[in-house]
Amino acid sequence: MGKSITPKYRIEIDYNDHRVWNCKEYGKPTEKNLIRYIELYIQSLKIGGCNEHISKMLGYMPIPNKAKIINQFTGDIVASWNAPMFMLIN
């Protein structure tokens, strides 16, 4: 049987969507890397992006309002991001 491993960090987008924060892929869990992750996620929701189907299914692009990276073992918030009041997406 395989070994089950709990990832050290998770990312919560709008407090409903839980994902694993992969340090090898996204880097250390810092606010700068979280902002970069959110920007890439927003780009993926556009036409031609890998998550375009989500926008088509909903009929609009679901831009996240909040995101945070949490240490799963301590429950501490390592980094957080709040969307600005006005955000231009081109």
In a domain? residue 71? yes
49, part of any domain: yes
Residues in the chain: 90
Asked if 42 and 89 count as a contact pair (C-beta separation under 8 A), the reply is yes
The Cα 29–Cα 38 span in angstroms is: 13
Indicate whether 1 belongs to any domain: no
- Residue 19 lies in domain: 9-82
Q: How many folded domains does the chain comprise?
A: 1
Q: pTM for the full model?
A: 0.84
- pLDDT tens, 67-90? 999 999 999 999 999 998 887 777
57-69 pLDDT tens trace: 989 888 889 999 9
pLDDT of residue 90: 72
Distance CA 59, CA 72 (A): 34
Whether 22 is covered by a domain: the verdict is yes
CA-CA-CA-CA torsion for 32, 90, 17, 77, nearest 10 degrees?
Answer: 20
Domain assignment present for residue 27? The answer is: yes
